[in-house]
Homo-oligomer: A and B are copies of this chain.
């Protein structure tokens, strides 16, 4: 019956499913290369983003990570507890808090750079440099605020 056909269509044609599957796979693969260190691959990503952002506010960091603000707060807790990052008050706005890496966090991050590079090189080789870069570009586009806005707008006028 055609029912089976349609059901198959869903998981084959759902970009949301597809991206989640890939995310789980890469979480495993990168995590495996990073090894049983103190930092998970998600935490490494977060520390890297913080490092490249200077001393971002929680809000801006959440935006950069395409993450809910409260989710970021929760995610930061183990890192705070383990002394990888610290929170500072903003001098101009008492509502605002900024995050930065501690020396410890910076050190850990540095230790994992080589492993990350290894994982990323394997990935690039397997997929092909061009395809890999193209993929990251597309994913960046999907993660952009502009994409979210356009997606929402597509619903309005529909």
Interface size class of A (residues with CB under 8 A): 35 or more
Decide yes or no whether A37 CB sits under 8 A from chain B: no
Please tell me which one of the listed residues B41, B66, B151 contacts residue A24 in the complex, with CB atoms under 8 A apart. Answer: B66
Encoded as 1 (CB less than 8 Å from any B CB) or 0, chain A from 114 to 125 comes to 001011101111
Q: Which of A47-65 contact B (CB under 8 A)?
A: 48-49, 51-52, 65
Complex CA gap A51/B1 in Å reads 13
On chain B, the residues within 8 Å of A25 by CB distance are 66, 142-143, 147-148
Interface of A is mostly: helix
Q: Does A89 sit within 8 A of B, measured CB to CB?
A: no
Q: Could you tell me which residues of chain A, from 131 to 149, have a CB within 8 Å of some CB in chain B? A: 131-132, 135-136, 138-143, 147-148
Q: Say yes or no: B22 contacts A27, CB within 8 Å.
A: no
Complex contact B7–A136 (CB within 8 A): no
- Nearest CB of chain B from residue A127's CB, rounded to whole Å: 7
On whether the beta carbons of B139 and A126 are closer than 8 Å, the reply is: no
How far is A55 from B119 in the complex, measured between Cα atoms in Å? 36
Instruction: Tell me, in angstroms, the Cα distance from A123 to B128 when the chains sit together.
Output: 25
* Contact across chains for A131 and B138 when beta carbons are under 8 A apart: yes
Nearest first, the 5 A-B pairs at minimum CB distance are A21-B143, A10-B48, A18-B139, A122-B154, A21-B66
